[in-house]
Structure 1
Amino acid sequence: MESIKEASEQYLDSLTSMALALWPDNEANELRREFKELITSEKNKVLLYFMHAKPIAFIHISVRSDYVEGSHNSPTGFIEGVYVEPEYRKKGISKKLIEVGERWLRTKDCTQIGSDIELSNNTSYQFHKSVGFNEVNRLIAFIKNIDEA
């Protein structure tokens, strides 16, 4: 049996584990703390996809009022992260999560949804194209450390 539910504190451990698989450079306690805050936020929605009562995927969608690359309106929805356990990929789970997220975004007066990926992440690029996203820009970010004299 499959279902989609809003994340709650009851599932923070599972959510944190999946988030660490998506963002391995993060620290577990910090991610858990962030998700604990996000699940009660009015501008964020974290949805879990369950297979036989076990969470196997999540999406974190936010409402952004700042500029979203390629958007024409504000506020704009934004996919902050989406993850599906490897053995369940390519079965339409992310697409279902996005569709539920889009319904929520419409209630927040959003008419567009944005997302971004690392330039080298071809798997994520192909996923975004397959669920209806159009590429609007390519961006290279710079940073320079300035030492105190």
Structure 2
Amino acid sequence: MNIRQATQRDARIAGNLALLLWPDHTVEELEGEFSELIGDPEAAVFLAFDGEEPAGFSQVQLRHDYVEGTSTSPVGYLEGLFVKEVYRQDGLARELVARAEQWAQDQGCSEFASDCELDNEISLQVHLALGFSEANRIICFTKRIGKAR
């Protein structure tokens, strides 16, 4: 398995992998988002390949705002992680996260964080297996105000 940091020519590959994680988008939307991320010095995308076959990705960004459970800034933040089912249980997610962590450390970060939805038990178990510890559980609220009701 080969893992490398994505370049602009990889935006379509990253978009196609991300579509498997976030199917409520289009590949064009995700390709555009990943193209921006790849060009952003405060973000990185790592791609894993089995030969020429894309197998997974990790996406990391620097967060300068408060990150739950941390005490420093910036914090490296795992924004996305996906491994195709056929490549799971082989340590590929661990390698992709290790690359993201190393990138964050190279940017001066001493803390690394992530999140998942409260009901996403698989993601919770993956995070715990990757060495994350749970910092907090929250429920977020919104409401419309003014004339936009």
Q: TM-score, normalised by structure 1?
A: 0.94
- Aligned-partner residue type, residue 89 of structure 2: K
Which residue type is aligned with residue 86 of structure 2? E
Shift of residue 27 of structure 1? 2.7
List aligned pairs for 1:29-44, cutoff 5 A: 29-44=28-43
Taking the aligned partners of 2:2 and 2:94, their CA distance within structure 1 comes to: 13
Residue number in structure 2 paired with 1:119: 118
What SS is found at the alignment partner of 1:55?
A: strand
CA distance in 1, matches of 2:117, 2:92: 22
**1:32-86, Cα deviation, whole Å (9 max, x unpaired):** 1111111111100100011112211000001111111101111100000000011
Provide the C-alpha distance between the structure 2 equivalents of 1:30 and 1:13, rounded to a whole number of angstroms: 10
Shift of 1:116: 0.4
Partner residue, 1:60 = 59
Q: Is contact 2:8–2:39 with CA below 8 Å preserved after alignment? A: no
The residue identity in structure 1 corresponding to 2:20 is: A
Q: Which runs of 5+ in 2 are unaligned?
A: none
User: How do 1:127-138 and structure 2 match up within 5 A?
Assistant: 127-138=126-137
RMSD: 1.3
- Report the secondary structure of 1:58's partner residue: strand
Counting only pairs closer than 5 Å after superposition, residues 1-149 of structure 1 correspond to structure 2 as 2-146=1-145, 148=147
CA shift for structure 1 position 105: 1.0
TM-score, with length taken from structure 2: 0.94
| Offset at residue 92 of structure 1 (A) | 0.6
- Structure 1 unaligned segments of length 5 or more: list them: none
Contact 2:61–2:78 under 8 Å retained in 1: yes
Q: Secondary structure at the match of 1:143?
A: coil
SS of structure 1 residue aligned to 2:47: strand
Matched residue count: 148
> What is the alpha-carbon distance in structure 1 between the residues aligned to residue 27 and residue 145 of structure 2?
30
- Aligned-residue identity in percent: 38
- Mean Cα deviation higher: 129-138 or 16-25: 16-25
Counterpart CA distance in 1 for 2:21 and 2:9 is 20
Q: Which SS does the other structure have where 1:125 is aligned?
A: helix
